[in-house]
Structure 1
Amino acid sequence: MTRRHLSAALGLALIASLGFIAPASTHPAQHGPQEGHLIGSGEFGMIDFVSKLRMHDATRGSIADVGALGNYAYLAKFDDDAACDDPENVADGGVYVTDIRDPRHPQEVGFIRAHQDTYVGEGVQAIRLSTPKFTGDILVFNNEGCGKNFKGGTSIYDVTNPRRPRKLASNQGDYTTDDVMNTPHDANQTHSAFAWDAGNQAYLVMTDDDEAEDVDIMNITDPRHPRLIGEFDLNVNSIDQPSLGLTETFLHDMVVKRIDGDWIMLLSYWDGGYVKLNVDDPANPVFLGDSEFTNPDPELLEQTGITRTPEGNGHQAEFTQGNRFIIATDEDFSPYRTTDLSRVTGPPAPTPETYETAPVGGGPLSVLPDRRLNGPVVYGGYGCPGASAAIPPAESVVP
C-alpha cells in the first residue's frame, strides 16, 4: 500500500467556483415513464439526433458508459443484472469498438473482452498519450466483478489502430486492502477510471471499491507498466454533513482538467459532494475545497413545494468550458422517502408521539396506490437472540 497525506490549501474555496444547473420545472416525469425526460427540440445548442446503433449482443441496461477519440467510440458492456449468468464462452463484460466516421451510419467493428465474471462500468476513456515511454492512443477502462473468477483494477489498451486494439496492461491497481496484501494477488475492484497526459508524465486515477482510501492514483508514463503512487481517503477533510444524515462518503467518479496552469481533479464523493484537488504532484494532492448540499433540497422545493433534506449522492460532474461552473448529477435512488411514523387511531401514544422510520427492502413508496406507507403496526423482535437487549412487552410501551 502506498499511502500519502493530503495537504490543505488555505484560503481556497470550491463553493465560489461552482454553479449548479437545475432542471427546469417544465420537464415532468423525472422519475416516471419515458416521456418528459428532458427530451427537447435541440434549440439549446442546436443538437440533432442523427442515428442509433445496437451492439450485437446488447440487452436493456447493458451499456454503462461511452468514450470517444477521433473517429471511434468505445462503449462499456455492463452486466445488466450483475449476475454473470452468461455461458462461460460468452463475455460478461468488455468494451465495444464503434466506427463513427459517418455519424449517420455507425458500425460496430470490434470488441475488447474483459476477464470472465467481470464487467465494465463507468470508467471508459480514450486519450492521446505522448510520453518518453509511449506515443499513441490508449483506452482505459475499469473492471468490476459479478462472479468468483472476476479480476478488478484498471486495464489499458493501445487503440492507435482502433480495429486492432493491443493490450498494454490488464487489471492493474491496488493489491492491498487495509494494509493487508490481497490473496489471491488480485487488484481491488474498480468502479471508474480517468487518465491524463501531463507532458513528460501521464497518470490515471481510479475508484477503489474495497477500502476507505478509495482515491488510487497510478503513474502510467509507461502504460505497459503502471505504478501505484498514492491512495487517499478524502474523509480526513470532514467533507460529510452528519447533521443532515449525509454520511455515506466515498468516491464514485472523477475528472482531471488543466485550469490556469494547474492540474485540477474534480471528484464526485457521494454524500461528501464535489471535491477539488490540485494534482500538479499526483503523489501529493492538495485539497482545495468541497461543496455542500443545500438544505432543504432546492430543486424539490422549487418544483413541488415540499421541504426535505437533500439526499446527497454526488454521482458525476464536469467542468464547464470556461471552468467557472461545474455541471453535476446526483444519482437519485429514493425520490420517495418515508417520514416520521405517527399513530392516528387507538389510545394516546406515549412520548414521543412520532417515531423515526427508514425504508428497508421492498419497492419504493411510488408503487403504492396513494404513495403512502400506512396501516396496522406490528411490534417485532430483533431476530438475534442473545445479541441484543430483550424486547419490552407491548403493554409497557403502548398502554
Structure 2
Amino acid sequence: MLRTYVWRSLPVIALSATLTTHALADEQHVADGDKADNKHLLHDTPLPDGHVPANVNYGFTVIGRDTLAGISSGLYTDVWAHDGYAYVGTFEEPTCDRSGVFISDIRDPSNPVKIGMIKSPPQTRVNDVKVTPVGDRDVLIFTLEPCGPLNGNSSKQLGQSGISLWDVTNPARPHAIKQNFLDFPVHNTFPWTTANGETYLLVVDDVNINDLHIVDMTKPQSPKLITTTGIGTWLDTNPEIANDEQLFMGTFAAPLLHDVWVNDMDPGPGENWQAVLPYWDAGFITLDVNDPYNPVFLGDSTYPDPDPVHGISPPEGNAHAAVFGGPNFDKIFAGDEDFDSLFTAVITGSDSYPASQGSDVPQIGPGADIEVLEAQTAFVGQACGGSLTPAADVGAGIALVERGGCTFSLKAQTAEAAGYDAVVVFNSDAPGNCDASVSMLVEAGIPALFVPRSSGFAILGIDGYDPEQCPGGTNPDLPAADTLGQFATLGAVFDGWGYLHTLNNTSTRVTVPLGMGGDTVTVDYLGEMGYYAPAEVTNPALAAGAGDLTMHNLEIDPTNPDRTFISWYSLGMRAVEWRPGHLHSNSNGEGVVSWNMHEVGRFIAGEEYGEAAGSNFWGVHVTEIDGEQYILGTDRNTGLWIFQWSCEDATDVLYCNGPVTP
C-alpha cells in the first residue's frame, strides 16, 4: 500500500472559490450524523482540552462567586442582571438535562446566593437570557432550542422551540407569562423599549435564511411577530451584500446570524434605534430599527484580506458578537468566534480542497494525533457495512466515500475494518446537499474528513463536474468501487483563533494612526480601525491542549465607552481600551498583538481556586449595585463570578495607566 506518515509543515493553503457554493442554511437535520445545530457545533470541536494557566492577572478583582449547581463541565452560558439579581443560562450538552435558568441574588456581591432555577422544557436547552422591564413587570426572556435526538426518521429533533417569557418581578417566585412562543429554534434575543413605552425584541432564528425576526412584546402575555427579514432579503435588495465575495470563508463557511445588540444612538431627548448584527462570514451588519415593522439596512463590514493578525488569505470570518462603543457610539467593538484553530484540507498536487474533520476520531494537524497523512485514494461507494475489498488489495490508504445510506460512523468503521488509514466523505446529490459542507458526528479509529461533492469528484480526478448541475443535470457518473483516485495529502495548518476588531461606525471616513511614526490610514464606514488579540491566539503551539482560545462575548464599560470587557473562554476575562497610535506585535513580549487597542486587564483563575483553576468564560455582563459597577462573568465549568475592575493597583503591569511603547 502506498502510504506514509510525515511530520512537516504544510504550505499555506489558498482558499479557493470552492467555498462559494455552500448552501445558505443554518441547520440540517439529518439522521446520518450531520450535526443538527451548526451554531452549537461550534462548542463541540474535538481538539481543545486542558486550559491556559494563570500568568499575570491585573485590573480585575474577584468580589464574589456562586457555583450555582456545583461544578459541571460546560454547563453555564450567558449571564444578565437586573435590579440586584443575576440570571444564568445553560448549554445542556451532551445530556440535555433540563438545567434551564439559574437565578442568583447578587445584592451583596461578595456573597451571591442562588435562590432558584427555572427548568427548561424536556429535550430543550436554554442558552440566551435577557431581563427587561415591561410596564410594571420585570420580564425574563430565554431562548429555546431542541437538543434531544431525532424524532424517529423525521428531520426534527425532540424538544421545544421559540422563546419563553417569565415574570421575575419577584425573582424568588418567577412565573410563566408566555411559553414556547414562535415555532423555530431561537439562539439569541435583544429587547428595547421606546419613549412611547413600546417594547420590541430582536430574535435570531437558527433555521431559516431570513433569520432575523422582530417581536412586539409590549403585552408580554400576547407577543406578536411583526417582521421577518435577514440576509435572504438583503441579498436581493443590496448590491453591497450580493456582490460580497466573503459570504463563505474558512473552516466553518456560512453567512448565519449569531448574537445581536440594539442601542439608542441619540444621547439627547430624541431616539435613534440601531442594531448591530454579527453575520458570521458576511461580517457585521448595521440596521435602522426605528420602525420595527420596516427595518432599514445600513451597511456591512468587509474583513481585511489578508487577515492582519494571522496573515491568512482569505480571512476566517466568523463574526459572532458586537456592541456599539465610543463617544456617541462612533465605534463598534466586534468579535470573531473561531473555535477551530486549524484549517484542514485535502491536497492533490497543486490543488487543495477545504475539509471539516469529524468529531470523535483521530485528528489531523499540528499538535493533534497525526500531523499529516499521505496516501493513495480510492472510491469505495457508500461503505454502509459489509465487506469492502481490503485496502492493501486496492492499493490505497484513503477511502473516498459518498454520503448517504447510513451513518457517518458506519462508513468510517467499515473503511477502518477494510484496512484504510482515513476516510474522506463527499456530499450526496440529494436536494440541499451537493456542494454544501457539513460537520460530522462520527466515531471511529481513523481520521474522517468531509468535503463538498465537487471536491470529491476532483479528488477522484474526474473532470466536468458542475455544481450548478446538482441535483439533476448532466454531471459525470461516479466510477465503480475500488477505482483509484489521486494521491492525496490530508493536513491542516494553524490559522489562529478568533479575536477583537474595532470598526468605524461614523457615516464619514476617518483617519487613524498606524503607529507612533506618523503614518495614517483612511477608514470607511464599518471599516477596520483597530484590533486586539492575546498573544496565545497567534501561537501554533497552542492549537490544541490549551482549551478554547477564541473570544466570545463583550460589553462596553458605561463609565468609559472606549473600554470593553470580554469573556475569552480559556483566556479568561479581558479589559481592552481604544488608544489610537499604539501598535503591539508581541515582539517585546507584550503578551498581545494589537493596533489602536490596548489591554488594561486580564483574569485567568489560578491554582488558589482549587478545582476552579483555569478559566472558560462564556458570558459577560456589566451591572450596577448600590452605585458601584460590577462585571459579571459566567465560567462554563464553575458558574458565576463577580468582578470589579480598576487600574489603580496595576500601574507597573502592561502599562495599564502609563504610556505605551509601540
Q: Is the 8 A contact 1:126 1:139 kept in 2?
A: yes
| Residue 51 of structure 1, CA deviation | 2.3
How far residue 114 of structure 1 moved from its aligned partner, in angstroms, is 1.8
Aligned partners of 1:77 and 1:368: how far apart in 2?
Answer: 29
3-state SS of 2:137 partner? strand
Q: 1:234 to 1:390 in 2, by over 3 A?
A: closer
In structure 1, the residue matched to 2:377 is: 378
Q: Deviations over 1:318-371 (max 9, x none)?
A: 11253122222211132111356255xxxxxxxxx43434234243624436x7
Alignment of 1:342-381 (within 5 A): 342-343=348-349, 353-361=350-358, 362=361, 363=363, 365-368=365-368, 372-381=371-380
Change beyond 3 A, Cα 1:381–1:70: same
1:223-262 maps to which residues of 2 (within 5 A)? 223-238=220-235, 239=241, 241-242=244-245, 245-246=248-249, 248-260=254-266, 261-262=271-272
Rounded Cα–Cα distance in structure 2 between residues aligned with 1:283 and 1:145: 28
1:166 to 153, 175, 180: 175
- Checking the alignment, whether the CA contact within 8 Å between 1:244 and 1:309 is kept in structure 2 is no
1:335 to 338, 341, 349: 341
Residue 278 of structure 1, CA deviation: 0.5
Equivalent-residue separation in structure 2 for 1:56 and 1:298 (angstroms): 42
Shift of the alpha carbon at 1:298?
A: 1.3
Shift of 1:265: 0.9
Q: 1-side partners of 2:181 and 2:50: how far apart?
A: 40
Long gaps (5+) in structure 1: 1-30, 87-91, 174-186, 302-306, 344-352
Which whole-Å deviations, capped at 9, do the CAs of 1:372-396 have from their partners, x for residues lacking one? 3232232224525997713388679
Rounded to whole Å, the distance in 2 between the matches of 1:220 and 1:236 is 24
Write the distance in 1 (CA, Å) between the matches of 2:49 and 2:119: 35
1:75-112 deviations in whole A, cap 9, x for unaligned? 0022131x42x4xxxxx231100001111111000111
Are the structure 2 counterparts of residues 63 and 377 from structure 1 closer, same or farther at C-alpha, using a change threshold of 3 Å? same
Asked if 2 retains the 8 angstrom alpha-carbon contact of 1:235 and 1:249, the reply is no
Are 1:42 and 2:58 matched, yes or no? Answer: yes
Instruction: Find the partner of 1:77 among 90, 93, 97.
Output: 90
Which amino acid in the other structure matches residue 211 of structure 2?
A: D
Question: Equivalent residue for 1:284?
Answer: 294
Q: Are 1:263 and 2:278 matched, yes or no?
A: no
Q: Do 2:275 and 2:287's aligned partners in 1 also have CA atoms closer than 8 Å? A: yes
Separation (CA, whole Å) in 2 of partners of 1:366 and 1:381? 29
Equivalent of 1:156, from 165, 169, 174?
A: 165
Contact kept? 1:137, 1:158, Cα under 8 Å = yes
- Structure 1 stretch 203-212 or stretch 357-366: which is displaced more? 357-366
What's 1:27 paired with?
none
CA contact (8 A) 2:86 2:106 kept: yes
Letter in 2 for 1:242: E
Of 479, 496, 514, 1:391 maps to 479
2:206 and 2:321 mapped to 1: Cα distance? 16
Q: Which residue does 2:146 correspond to in 1?
A: 145
Partner AA of 2:143 in structure 1: N
C-alpha change, 1:136 and 1:115, in structure 2 (3 Å) is same
Aligned 8 A contact 1:277 1:288 in 2? yes
Aligned partner letter, 2:138: D
Give the match for residue 321 of structure 2: 316
Query: In the alignment, which of 203, 206, 211 is matched to residue 209 of structure 1?
Result: 206
SS at match of 1:49: strand
Q: Which whole-Å deviations, capped at 9, do the CAs of 1:99-130 have from their partners, x for residues lacking one?
A: 01111111000111221111111x2111223x
The answer (yes or no) to whether the contact 1:338–1:373 under 8 Å persists in 2 is no
Report the 3-state secondary structure (helix = DSSP H, G, I; strand = E; otherwise coil) of the residue aligned with 2:309.
Answer: helix
Corresponding residue to 1:118 among 118, 124, 133 = 124
The SS at the match of 1:309 is coil
Q: Distance in 2 between matches of 1:103 and 1:396?
A: 64
1:244 offset after TM fit, Å?
7.3
Partner residue of 1:194?
190
Q: Offset at 1:192?
A: 1.0
TM-score (norm 1): 0.74
Q: In the alignment, residue 219 of structure 1 is paired with which amino acid?
A: D
Work out the CA distance in 2 between the residues paired with 1:165 and 1:356.
52
Measured at CA, do residues 308 and 339 of structure 1 come closer, stay the same or move farther in structure 2, by a change above 3 Å?
Answer: farther
Between 1 and 2, higher relative CO (CA 8 Å, sep ≥ 6) is seen in 2
Shift of 1:61: 0.8
Q: CA deviation at 1:196?
A: 1.1
Note the aligned Cα RMSD (angstroms).
Answer: 2.7
SS of equivalent residue, structure 1 residue 237: helix
Question: Percent of aligned positions with the same letter in both sequences?
Answer: 30
Whether contact under 8 Å (2:364, 2:371) holds in the other structure is: no
- Structure 2, gaps ≥5 residues long: 1-47, 149-156, 236-240, 383-401, 405-427, 430-475, 488-662
Any conservation in 1 of the 2:126–2:144 contact (CA below 8 Å)? yes
- What corresponds to 1:135 in structure 2? 136
Using the TM superposition, give the Cα deviation of residue 144 of structure 1 relative to its aligned residue in structure 2, in angstroms: 0.8
Q: Using a 3 Å threshold, how does the CA distance of structure 1 residues 316 and 244 change in structure 2: closer, same or farther?
A: closer
CA contact (8 A) 1:93 1:118 kept: no
Q: What secondary structure sits across from 2:51 in the alignment?
A: coil
Which amino acid in the other structure matches residue 237 of structure 1?
W
State the match for 2:306 in structure 1.
296
Native 8 Å contact 1:60 1:80 kept in 2: no
Between 1:314-323 and 1:241-250, the stretch displaced more is: 241-250
| Letter aligned with residue 477 of structure 2 | A
Name the aligned partner's letter for residue 344 of structure 2: T
Specify the alignment match of 2:69 in structure 1. Answer: 56
Q: How many residues are paired up?
A: 324
Give me the whole-angstrom Cα distance separating, in 2, the residues matched to 1:334 and 1:98.
33
2:19 aligns to what? none
Contact 1:244 1:310 in 2 (8 A): no
Alpha-carbon separation, structure 2, partners of 1:102 and 1:233:
42
**Cα distance in 2 between the residues matched to 1:364 and 1:292:** 31
Distance between the aligned counterparts of 2:245 and 2:169, measured in 1? 47
Cα separation, 2, equivalents of 1:367 and 1:191: 33
Residue range with higher mean Cα deviation, 53-62 or 288-297: 53-62
